[in-house]
Structure 1
Amino acid sequence: MFHLPAMTWTLTAVLLAGGSYYLWQALRSGLVTDRVNNTLHALMNTLMAAMLWNLAPATLLAQIGLLAGAALWFIIQAVARPEYKLLCAGTQGRIKCAYHALTMAGAALMIALMTHPASPATGQTAMTMPMPAGHHAMTSAPHSQGMATGTAAAAPVLGLTPGVLLTLLFGAAALIFLILLLRNRATTTNHHPGSRRRSTRTEHALEALSATIMALMFATTA
């Protein structure tokens, strides 16, 4: 995916470190939902690391299905009724679950994009269409070619490709998590942070790193 081996190794190390942290959190958590959520995050990090090296290509459909199921699980948590206390509670919790659903869906889409690269512009296909014989062909060919050229030229302007859109989206998410991390550190400068606050800072740091990696990986598909 990346031409620089040093970048690939660095991103792999970060993803596996994050996956190990989530797995550790899953093992020490007392709530079933927390165990499932952290396990899914550990699995996503592992699959993204494998994606960097194009490992296990025979299981790509299974990976996509698993990540899509994980996205659905987080969506269910995000829209669950308030009386289900074990699922996402409060506005902040629902936003968090919605973002996690986005990351799972984004990872699934990334695998799909890696498997099926974007096809050539539709304008090229239109130019190869058979034309009627006679005077109609002579007059319509330039018109068709002009339309095809105009379509191909206007496509990047009228809409963003999924790769570009998700690169911008996860880049913005990385910036937001970085701001939250710095704000959290500033509020604890004159206090002795507890384990919960340290865990929050760690989660913000991992989310910022994960979003940055997602943005970089989607940038290669743009």
Structure 2
Amino acid sequence: MFDIPAITWSLTAVLLLSGSYQVRQAIRSQQRTDRVNKSLHALMNILMAAMLWNLVPSTMLAQIAVLAGAALWFVIQAVARPEFKTLCAGSQGRLKCAYHSLTMAGAALMAAMMGQMTTTAGHGIVPAGGMSMPHAHHAMTAATPSTAAATVDHSPDLAILLTAFFGAAAVVFLILLLRSRVATTTLGHAAGPRRSVRAEHGLEALGAAVMALMFATMAA
């Protein structure tokens, strides 16, 4: 599906718009921790958009390090003691932070898998630059040298697992979005706060769907 430029451009637009929204939310937030969290989500969206086009492959290790650090940051919030109220509070908040840690870890893993694809360029398998994610993947999988096969044999199964996970997450957030819309219709006086919740669920659903699609391409 990623061989169709319109789809790649559409996913890029979704990621960049989502990242812009997160930047806006970070600027408007009054809480430092929330600003950091929103900023990390914005950065993740921008890096994933870059992955679609295989941009700046020379910074791949730095991208993985930043995303892995962000995943650890959300894990720390998820397991923090209750007295640290600026971090994740309550079971719902901890569950949200745990999921966000998985999204950051998934993005880091995606960058690592892309790094495997571009690393084979030194063996003449994949062009070093100027190739988008889907084309790089298809060029890699079409190659026959044993060095490439040994490197990525484990990737398809893992990509399938992550595709299923983020696909299921997208469905869950879509259900939550629909439920919040029904609640807003029923309780019109709570429309303001509910609108923010709907936006959050919508962004989470879009983000999970994009990650599912990107991992599905790697599994193909």
Scaled to the shorter chain, the TM-score interval is 0.7 to 0.9
Read off the aligned partner of 1:4 and give its amino acid letter: I
Cα distance in 2 for partners of 1:17, 1:195 equals: 22
Q: Deviations over 1:13-72 (max 9, x none)?
A: 110110011000000000000000000000000000111111111111000000000000
Structure 2: where are the runs of 5+ without partners?
118-136, 147-152
Residue number in structure 2 paired with 1:24 = 24
Count of residues paired in the alignment: 187
User: Where does 1:1-222 land on structure 2 (aligned, <5 Å)?
Assistant: 2-117=2-117, 161-190=157-186, 191-222=188-219
1:192: Cα distance to partner?
3.7
1:197: Cα distance to partner?
1.3
Read off the aligned partner of 2:211 and give its amino acid letter: M
Structure with the higher helix share, 1 or 2: 2
Q: Deviations over 1:141-189 (max 9, x none)?
A: xxxxxxxxxxxxxx99xxx811010000000000000000000001111
Q: CA RMSD in A?
A: 2.1
Structure 1: where are the runs of 5+ without partners?
126-154
TM-score, length-scaled by structure 2: 0.80
TM-score, length-scaled by structure 1: 0.80
Residue identity (%): 66
Read off the aligned partner of 2:18 and give its amino acid letter: G
Contact 2:15 2:46 in 1 (8 A): yes
Residue number in structure 2 paired with 1:147 = none
Read off the aligned partner of 2:161 and give its amino acid letter: L
Cα distance in 2 for partners of 1:54, 1:2 equals: 13
Cα distance in 1 for partners of 2:15, 2:83 equals: 35
1:220: Cα distance to partner?
1.1
Cα distance in 1 for partners of 2:190, 2:8 equals: 34
1:196: Cα distance to partner?
2.1
Name the larger-Rg structure.
1
Read off the aligned partner of 2:108 and give its amino acid letter: A
Contact 2:71 2:102 in 1 (8 A): yes
Read off the aligned partner of 1:175 and give its amino acid letter: V
Deviation beyond 4 Å, 4+ runs, structure 1 = 117-120
